[in-house]
Amino acid sequence: MYKKINEKDLEYLRKITSQDRVFSKDEIESDYTHDELGTVKAIPEVHVKVINKEEVIEIMKYAHKEVIPVTVRGAGTGLVGACVPVSGGILLDLSKMTQFIELDKENLTLTVEPGVLLLDIYEYVEKEGLFYAPDPGEKTATIGGNIACNAGGMRAVKYGVTRDWVRGLEVVLANGDLIHLGGKVVKNSTGYDLKDLIIGSEGTLAIVVSATLKLIPKPKRLTSLLVPFETLEQAIEVAPKLMVDHVIPTGLEIFEKTSIKSSEEFLGKKIPNGNYEAYLLLSYDGSNDQALEEDIEIASKLCVEKYGAIDAFLVDTEERKGNIWTVRGGFLEAIKASTTEMDECDVVLPRSNILEFLNYTKEVSKNLKMRIPYFGHIGDGNLHIYLCKDDIEQKKYDELKQKGFDLLYKKAYELGGLVSGEHGIGYAKREYLEKMTEKPHLELMKSIKKVFDPKGILNPNKVV
Amino acid sequence: MYKKINEKDLEYLRKITSQDRVFSKDEIESDYTHDELGTVKAIPEVHVKVINKEEVIEIMKYAHKEVIPVTVRGAGTGLVGACVPVSGGILLDLSKMTQFIELDKENLTLTVEPGVLLLDIYEYVEKEGLFYAPDPGEKTATIGGNIACNAGGMRAVKYGVTRDWVRGLEVVLANGDLIHLGGKVVKNSTGYDLKDLIIGSEGTLAIVVSATLKLIPKPKRLTSLLVPFETLEQAIEVAPKLMVDHVIPTGLEIFEKTSIKSSEEFLGKKIPNGNYEAYLLLSYDGSNDQALEEDIEIASKLCVEKYGAIDAFLVDTEERKGNIWTVRGGFLEAIKASTTEMDECDVVLPRSNILEFLNYTKEVSKNLKMRIPYFGHIGDGNLHIYLCKDDIEQKKYDELKQKGFDLLYKKAYELGGLVSGEHGIGYAKREYLEKMTEKPHLELMKSIKKVFDPKGILNPNKVV
C-alpha cells in the first residue's frame, strides 16, 4: 500500500531540507526507533530533522503525492509508542524547530515552534513574571508532544491540562496545506472546533508547526503540605472528601511507601518525614500570602482533625520542596529500573472511585501473581499503573499483561473511567480504545481520521 | 431532497411522544418561528416538545429513515438564527427536558438535561456553596443552547467559556445512536476530542441530551470597580495594559456614554456616578477578603495614577451592584428598542487590537451613514456591534448592512480576529464564516459535517 523509500526519494528529501539532516539505513540512531517506554520498536526508512514549517509543508506534499507514511517525533518522551514509525516511511523529527516566535504581553500569549522543550518554556515566561500552568512530569518533552497527547500533569486539579492552555495552532495537513486554528483570542464560536480535535490526536490528523499558548501572571508563591496517613486507604479516601469541603489545591498527589522507598533508593535522596505508610501532597499557589496561609491552615486542620492524618508537614523551604519533588519525579524511573520490562496503564477515573479501583488493582496483582506498582495524580483521578515482568518468562508475561490490562480497563469503564488520562493511545493502547469505546463513537473517530488523511499517511496504525 | 411532513408522520410523532406535545400548521405559535434577534424567520412543519432522551432517539431514528430535517431549539435566545427551522421539517424543542440528573459533590460535577435554564443552574449549585462560572448576558438561555454556541459571557477573562466547564456530554447522533463523550473525569487523552467538536456546533452534528458540568466552590465575595475615563479611547487602551501589569480581573467590561444613557432611559434606572464619557467595570472574585482588597487597591491605583482614570468607585453595596449590572444587562434590549431593525456582529479580537477595530467601526458608521452602537467584553476582546436600520429604507439598509459586515469582518481578520466570539455562526453568519475561513479549513468542517450527518438532516443550512 505504501511506497517504499528509494534513493530518489532520499535525494529529494535532501534537496528540500539539507544533506546533513536526512538519515537512512545505518545512519539511523537506535534512539529514534522507540520512545521512552521502549516496548514499541520500529526503524524508520528515513529520519529527517526539519528546521521550519516550510520544510514540513514540502515533505508532506511529497509524501502525500508518493503515499509515504510520516510519523512525527518530538523529544520521544512518550509512553505509548505514538512517535514510533511502525509502518516505516519518514520519521519527521521536529525537535530542531525550537523558535520562540512571539511573547505577547498584552494578550498574554506565547507563540512557539513545536520542538521547544517544556522546561525552556517555563524558564522563558517565568523570567517575564508569567506562567504556563500545565506541569507534566517529563519536563524535557516538547510542547508539540504535549499537544499531541494532551499532556496533563500535577497542576491539573486547579489549572486543567494542555488543551486548556492552547489558544491557537498552525497546522500542516496531510496534503501539505497550512491552516490556522483559533488564534490569540480568548473566546471563539466560529465554526467547528478543529483546534481541540487536533490537540490529543497524536500526529494522526495534522502536524502542529506552531502553537499559541495562554499565559497568566506567575503566582508569587507555591507551598505544599505533606500529609502522612497510617494506611493508604485512608489517604486515598481523603482526596474526594477535600473537594466536598471545598479545599481545592493546585495539585494533589499520592505517595505510598513502596514508591517512595524505591525512588529514594534509585536516587539516593530522601524525602523529609518519610517513614509513614502513605502521604498526600497538597500544593497551593497564589500571590497573596495571607490567602495562601489560610488555605494551608484549613487544609492541615481538616486533614488532621477530620480525616485522621498523622500530621501535616509544611513544605516551605526550597530544600524540602526540592527533595520531595525529586523523589516524586523519580517514581517512574525507579519502577523502570526495578524490572526487566514493564507496560503501563494510564487510566483516569472520577476521583471518588479511585479507592475502589486501586483495591481492584491489588486483587489483580495477587491473582495474576504479577507486581503492579502505581502512583498517581489522585486529585484528578489519573493513575499510572505498571505491569512488571520481573522474572516472569516472556510468553507468560505477555499473556498475563494482556489479561491484566483487560481486567483493569474493564473495571475502569465500569467506574466511569477512560483508557487514558494524559499519555494518549498511540500504538500500545489502540486495542483498548477499540474495545472500550461505543461502536458509533469509534466509527466517528475513524471517519474523522479519513477526512483529515484520506491516504492514511499520517502516523499510520495509531489511535484508531 | 427532504421529505415533507404528512399526516402519517404527525401521527407517528404523536405516538412516540404525546398527543399534546406535537404541533403543526395553525397550532404552531409564532414565537417558534424565530430567535431573540428575529431577523431569520421560518415556520417548522411540526413543532415537537420532547421530555426525555428516549423521545429524541426515536424521533431521530424516524427522521433519519424518512430524511426529515430536524432543528433543535432550547429557549430561543440566540442571535444568529441557529434554532430557526429554515429548511422546514421538525422543530425539536428540548425546553421541557429540565431534569437535574445528579449533583456529585465528590467529583464537583452537575449533570443536567439540556433544557435547564442557566439561572436555575446558578441557583441550584449556589445553594450548595458551588459555582458554575460561565456568565452569558442571557440568563434565561438553556444550558443546551449555551453548549450549542459555546456561550461566553462576562467572566471569561478569568474563567473561560462554556467549553471549559463541560466535562462530559451524552449526545444523540443523526441516526438515533446514543453516545457518551468525556465523563466526570478531569483529564482525558482517550482518542479524538469529539466532546469539544460537538460544543459550539449549533445542533448540526449531534443533539446534546445531557451534560456533565464542572463546578468549583463558590467564591465568597465579588467586588467591582467602576472606573470612569475622560475619553472612550483612554478606557479602551487601558484593558490590555492591565494585563501587562498582571492585574487580571474576573471580568472586564466597557461602558460608553451612549449605551449607558439609552439603557438607563429604556430601564428607568440609573447607574451611580454615571455622568462620564466612558467606564471600565472591573470585577474581582475570591474567598479571601484581604487578597480581594489587595487586588482592588492595586487596580484602582494603577487606573488612576498610571492610566489617567478620573476616579475608581468601589461597587460594594448590593444596590450599586444591582443597578450597574441591570443597566449593563439592558444594553442589548435598549439598542433593539431604539431601532426598527438591526443585525449584529459578534467579532472577537486579540484584546490589544480593540481600539483600532473600534476606531474603524466609527469610520464605517460615518461612511455608510448608519448608526452602529456597540458594547463588549473588552477584557476578552469580544465585541457586540449593532448595525441599525433606524429610518433607512429597507433595500438600502440591506445593501449597507452587507457592506458594513463585509468591511468589519475583513478588518477583524486583518487584526487577528474571528467571526464569532460567543454567539455562533447559525444561519446569519454562514456567509462570513465561508468568506473568512481558509479554504482547506472550511472543507474539513464540511467533511466533518458529512461524517456526523451524511443525510444532512441535522439543522440544515447552518454553520457550514
Which residues in A lie closer than 8 A to residue B286 (C-beta atoms)? 291
3-state secondary structure of B400: helix
Tell whether B423 lies on the interface with A, counting CB pairs under 8 A: yes
Q: Please name the residues between 327 and 386 in chain B that touch chain A, using a CB distance below 8 Å.
A: 346, 348-352, 377, 379-382
Does the distance separating the beta carbons of A200 and B197 come in below 8 Å?
no
Please give, rounded to a whole number of angstroms, the shortest distance from the CA of B173 to a CA of chain A: 9
Q: Quote the pLDDT of residue A314.
A: 93
Does the distance separating the beta carbons of B191 and A444 come in below 8 Å?
no
Question: Residue B447 is nearest to which of A107, A175, A451, comparing CB atoms?
Answer: A451
CB B230 within 8 A of CB B277: yes
Q: Quote the pLDDT of residue A322.
A: 86
Does the distance separating the beta carbons of B451 and A444 come in below 8 Å?
yes
pLDDT in tens, A101-122: 999 999 999 999 999 999 999 9
Tell whether B415 lies on the interface with A, counting CB pairs under 8 A: no
Which neighbouring-strand residues pair with A222? A285
- Pairing between strand B46-49 and A374-377? unpaired
Tell whether B212 lies on the interface with A, counting CB pairs under 8 A: no
Does the distance separating the beta carbons of B463 and A192 come in below 8 Å?
yes
Does the distance separating the beta carbons of B185 and A418 come in below 8 Å?
yes
DSSP structure string for B183-195: -S-S---SSS-HH
| DSSP H or E run through A255 | strand A251-256
- % chain A with pLDDT above 90: 87
Please give, rounded to a whole number of angstroms, the shortest distance from the CA of A40 to a CA of chain B: 19
- Strand order across the beta sheet in which A109-112 lies: A100-104, A109-112, A207-214, A166-172, A178-182
Cell of A374: 502505581
| A173: CB partners within 8 A, 6+ apart | A60, A179, A206, A452, B440, B444
Residue at B52: amino acid letter: N
Residue among A190, A194, A213 with most chain B CBs within 10 A, to mutate? A190
Which residues in B lie closer than 8 A to residue A416 (C-beta atoms)? 183-185
For A187-231, where are the alpha helices, taking DSSP H only?
194-198
- Strand order across the beta sheet in which B374-377 lies: B313-315, B221-229, B278-286, B251-256, B374-377, B382-388, B342-345
Q: What are the pLDDT tens digits along chain B (464 aa)?
A: 899 999 999 999 999 999 999 999 999 999 999 999 888 999 999 999 999 999 999 999 999 999 999 999 999 999 999 999 999 999 999 999 999 999 999 999 999 999 999 999 999 999 999 999 999 989 999 999 999 999 998 999 999 999 999 999 999 999 999 999 999 999 999 999 999 999 999 999 999 999 999 999 999 999 999 999 999 999 999 989 998 998 889 999 998 888 888 888 888 888 888 789 999 999 999 988 999 999 999 999 999 999 999 999 999 888 888 888 888 888 988 999 999 999 999 999 999 999 999 999 999 999 999 999 999 899 999 999 999 999 999 999 999 999 999 999 999 999 999 999 999 999 999 999 999 999 999 999 999 999 999 999 999 999 99
Please give, rounded to a whole number of angstroms, the shortest distance from the CA of A338 to a CA of chain B: 27
Does the distance separating the beta carbons of A420 and B189 come in below 8 Å?
yes
Distance between CA atoms of residues B65 and B45, nearest Å: 17
Which neighbouring-strand residues pair with B104? B109
Q: How many residue pairs from chains A and B have C-beta atoms closer than 8 A?
A: 285
- Pairing between strand A130-131 and A216-217? antiparallel
Question: Residue A177 is nearest to which of B161, B288, B440, comparing CB atoms?
Answer: B440
Question: Residue B177 is nearest to which of A107, A109, A440, comparing CB atoms?
Answer: A440
Residue among B187, B430, B452 with most chain A CBs within 10 A, to mutate? B187
Which residues in A lie closer than 8 A to residue B201 (C-beta atoms)? 192-193
Which residues in A lie closer than 8 A to residue B379 (C-beta atoms)? 186
ipTM of the prediction: 0.96
3-state helix, strand, coil in chain B (%, to 5): 40, 20, 40
Question: Residue B197 is nearest to which of A179, A192, A449, comparing CB atoms?
Answer: A192
Please give, rounded to a whole number of angstroms, the shortest distance from the CA of A178 to a CA of chain B: 8
Which neighbouring-strand residues pair with A139? none
Question: Residue B193 is nearest to which of A188, A200, A420, comparing CB atoms?
Answer: A200
Q: Quote the pLDDT of residue A321.
A: 86
pLDDT above 90 for A273: no
Report the half-sphere exposure of B150 (CA within 13 A, side-chain side).
27
Name the closest residue on chain B to residue A417, using Cα atoms: B185
Tell whether A424 lies on the interface with B, counting CB pairs under 8 A: yes
Residue at A155: amino acid letter: R
Does the distance separating the beta carbons of A157 and B425 come in below 8 Å?
no
Most distant CA pair in chain B, distance: 73
Tell whether B288 lies on the interface with A, counting CB pairs under 8 A: yes
Name the closest residue on chain A to residue B291, using Cα atoms: A288
Q: Quote the pLDDT of residue A411.
A: 97
Question: Residue B421 is nearest to which of A187, A423, A452, comparing CB atoms?
Answer: A187
Does the distance separating the beta carbons of B104 and A350 come in below 8 Å?
yes
Q: Rounded to a whole number, what is the distance in angstroms from the first to the last CA of chain A?
A: 18
In total, chain B counts a number of residues equal to 464
Does the distance separating the beta carbons of A348 and B185 come in below 8 Å?
yes
pLDDT above 90 for A425: yes
Distance between CA atoms of residues B423 and B346, nearest Å: 7
Distance between CA atoms of residues A66 and A61, nearest Å: 9
pLDDT in tens, A122-148: 999 999 999 999 999 899 999 999 999
Does the distance separating the beta carbons of B441 and A181 come in below 8 Å?
yes
pLDDT above 90 for A325: no
Please, what sign has the CA dihedral across residues A315, A318, A319, A324?
positive
Which residues in A lie closer than 8 A to residue B424 (C-beta atoms)? 189
Tell whether B190 lies on the interface with A, counting CB pairs under 8 A: yes
Q: Quote the pLDDT of residue A404.
A: 97
Question: Residue B190 is nearest to which of A161, A418, A449, comparing CB atoms?
Answer: A418
For chain B, the C-alpha Rg in angstroms (whole number) is 23
Does the distance separating the beta carbons of A157 and B187 come in below 8 Å?
no
pLDDT above 90 for A247: no
Tell whether B272 lies on the interface with A, counting CB pairs under 8 A: no
Q: Quote the pLDDT of residue B447.
A: 98
Which residues in B lie closer than 8 A to residue A199 (C-beta atoms)? 193
Does the distance separating the beta carbons of A420 and B150 come in below 8 Å?
no
Does the distance separating the beta carbons of A216 and B156 come in below 8 Å?
no
Name the closest residue on chain A to residue B108, using Cα atoms: A243
Q: Please name the residues between 35 and 94 in chain A that touch chain B, using a CB distance below 8 Å.
A: none
Cell of A420: 487514558
